[in-house]
Structure 1
Amino acid sequence: MNIVLLEPEIPANTGNIGRTCVATGTRLHLIEPMGFRLTEKEIKRAGLDYWKDLDVTVYDNYQDFLDKNPGAKIYMATTKAQKTYTHVEYEPDCYIMFGKESAGIPEELLLANKENTIRIPMVGDIRSLNLGNSVAIVLYEALRQNNFEGMKLEGKLHHHSWDEA
């Protein structure tokens, strides 16, 4: 799986998303301009000690991203979409794009990709969910559809056995 952040603005969100990507074996793609530098302490604090393990690529702009990922199947998450994120079938190598916190993905890009726009349902007129939460919701649905391939599906207790219960 691939998560794409188009012009992210808040370092703590990107750090949190980076940690989610490490935990799920997902690649992170960051498209400039960003509202921060990757060396900022806030991004490392949110990503904790996982940031060094992140598979991340930075692109100069959206066209650079397209040029370096030809033929990529891109789903665009937006509050403006006509269908929900559960109404598509995610391919194991697809890209799920999220826009910047203050404005989302530009409408021109949404119109050019209208068949692949998705939304998370919400009540009322709330503008949007937190970016990190949105990424986690959609990413885990995509991973679920692909049977959590390559992921650890069972946990274990440190001091007891599940058979004791």
Structure 2
Amino acid sequence: MKQKGFRIALYQPDIPGNTGAILRLAACLGVEVDLIEPAGFDLGDRSLKRAGMDYLEMANLHRHDYWEAFDQWRRQEERRLILFSTRGAIPYTAFTFLDGDVLLFGRESAGVPDEVHDAADYRVIIPMRDGARSLNVALAAAMGCGEALRQVR
């Protein structure tokens, strides 16, 4: 049976540099990226290109016009949706990732709305020290992607 591979999904990202860094990460590791629009910037933004460097051409990016279109696609594909959230219950290192999972990361400014939070099959957290609010989304994506790769590959 052919592996589906896991994917990184970005919910309405706000900061082009972070998206560029995630696209570069995904290109280097052979992971596909789903971008759920609208993004808070033009996808031709110079900051996106600067962060992604020449790896953007190698990135396998799929754009979804809105949340419902993305959610319908991933359900048809029978992919679990794993939301990385400060409201998650399971530490990401204690979670069992499976081939085909979609790792979802929210907007830098606001995370994801409740309807998206509730639609996730699982909600995981990257444990942090008390008083820390959140990690940069590109760092969180790298940590989550690294753990999923370790487990699945």
TM-superposed deviation, 1:62:
0.8
Aligned residues: 146
Which position in structure 1 is the counterpart of 2:3?
A: none
Match of 2:111 among 104, 112, 123: 104
Matches within 5 A, 1:25-36: 25-36=30-41
Which amino acid counterpart does residue 141 of structure 2 have in structure 1?
V
For residues 112 and 40 of structure 1, the distance between their equivalents in structure 2, rounded to whole angstroms, comes to 30
**Matched residues in 1 for 2:119 and 2:50: separation?**
36
The 5 A counterparts of 1:2-13 are: 2-13=7-18
Matches within 5 A, 1:1-165: 1-69=6-74, 70=76, 71-113=78-120, 116-147=122-153
Moved more, 72-81 or 100-109: 100-109
User: Normalised by the size of structure 1, how large is the TM-score?
Assistant: 0.84
Q: C-alpha separation between the residues in 2 aligned to 1:39 and 1:108?
A: 29
Deviations 1:63-119 (CA, angstroms, capped at 9, x unpaired) = 010222222211000001111111221112110000000111223322343x50000
Mapped to 1, the partners of 2:70 and 2:118 lie a distance apart of 18
SS of the aligned residue for 1:81 comes to: coil
What secondary structure is seen at the aligned counterpart in 2 of 1:52? coil
Code of the aligned partner of 1:74: L
**Unaligned regions of 5+ residues in structure 1, if any?**
148-165
Partner amino acid for 1:6?
Y
CA deviation string 1:18-74 (max 9, x = no partner): 000011100010001101111111101100000011100111111010222222211
Tell me the SS of whatever aligns to 1:3.
strand
**SS of 1:97 mapped into structure 2:** strand
Contiguous gaps of at least 5 residues in structure 2:
1-5
Within 2, Cα distance between the matches of 1:78 and 1:146? Answer: 21
Kindly provide the amino acid, as one letter, of the partner of residue 22 in structure 2.
I
1:133 alignment partner, SS class: helix
